[in-house]
Structure 1
Amino acid sequence: MGRRRNKRYQRAGRCPHVRKSGFQRRKLSLTSLIDVIFLLLLFFMLSSTFSQFSEVDLATAGQGQAPSEAQPIFLQLRTTDLSVNARAVPLAALAEALRPLMSDETQVLVSASADVTAQRLTDLLVTLRAIPGLSVQVLVPS
């Protein structure tokens, strides 16, 4: 009886969700699809990094170089402050503090304390890289 009724509705065009074979088509639920897409979006957002990576070239100490006549500038980097030749200088004013000490080929030696973050060291190296005529070497404790 149920099959006959479905065919009758199908011929009359009243029941669009019934197939020719007489079986009812299940309605497609988008809720589960939306849930899966939301979970994938959440996963990719949380697994990605939000900070930009930058590449900083570090010069290695070369052997056989003639010693320079100019005195090297010694930078000591700590978590809270920065000192240039034992004189405290803020990072924003580093370029102005280095100008009077610079010559043609100025060598800068950077010593970082053990508790300095990599981001703080990178910020210092990017600032030093923007100043022309500097040769920067990072001192690593042995």
Structure 2
Amino acid sequence: MHINRPQRRARPISLTPLVDVIFLLLLFFMLSSTFTRFGEVEIGAPGGGGGTGAVPKALLLVEGDALRLNGNAVEPDRLHGEAEALTARDIDSLLVLVRGETTTQQLVTVLSDLKSVENLSVTLAR
């Protein structure tokens, strides 16, 4: 006796789980990404130790939020103008000393302000 088995019908693939997974991935990537812009500060390698480099003509001391340019206190929002005043007096090099509890963000802010001043060479020291 021969018994015919019923043929299996191919069920259509449900796309609901696929849509759920894509939605979860979309949420994950949206929530894990940041929308802030990061600045870039160029810091080159120091020159050789031969001692032939030019001596900086001005000194900026950075101690946390306090800035002292050639011994005079400077407000952080006025640093750009003070640096341009230096170039107006033919001072083309500036040494930046970092002291105390200065954060990286404070240093990056100072260096980005000084980077926008034309004809001013900035050297960083710790």
TM-score range, shorter chain: 0.5 to 0.7
Letter in 1 for 2:52: Q
Q: Does the 8 Å contact 1:75/1:83 carry over to 2?
A: yes
**2:108 — aligned with what?**
122
Q: 2:124 and 2:77 mapped to 1: Cα distance?
A: 20
CA contact (8 A) 1:58 1:137 kept: no
Assess, with a 3 A threshold, how the Cα gap between structure 1 residues 57 and 81 changes in structure 2: closer, same or farther.
same
SS in 2 for 1:55: coil
TM-score (structure 1 length as normaliser): 0.62
How far does residue 93 in structure 1 lie from its aligned partner after superposition? 1.1
- Distance in structure 2 (CA, Å) of the matches to 1:91 and 1:139: 19
> How many residue pairs were aligned?
117
Query: In the TM superposition, what is the alpha-carbon distance from 1:97 to its structure 2 partner?
Result: 1.8
Q: Which has the larger radius of gyration?
A: 1
Runs of 4+ in 1 over 6 A off after TM superposition: none
- What displacement does 1:50 show? 3.5
Is residue 65 from structure 1 mapped to residue 52 from structure 2 by the alignment?
yes
- Percent identity at matched positions? 35
Q: Return the letter of the residue paired with 1:79.
A: G
Cα shift readout 1:90-116 (whole Å, capped 9, x = no counterpart): 222112223443343522111123532
Other-structure match for 1:136: 122
SS of the residue corresponding to residue 117 of structure 2 reads coil
| Alignment equivalent of 2:97, drawn from 111, 116, 124 | 111
Shift of 1:130: 0.9
Residue identity in the other structure for 2:27? L
Q: 1:124 to 1:47 in 2, by over 3 A?
A: same
Structure 2 alignment gaps of length 5 or more? 1-6
Query: What is the Cα deviation at residue 118 of structure 1?
Result: 2.0
> Cα offset for 1:120?
2.1
SS of residue in 2 equivalent to 1:51 = coil
TM-score (norm 2): 0.68
Hey, what's the Cα distance between the residues in 2 that align with 1:99 and 1:88? Answer: 16
Deviation of 1:128 after TM superposition, in Å, equals 0.7
Please, which runs of 5 or more residues in structure 1 have no aligned partner?
Answer: 1-20
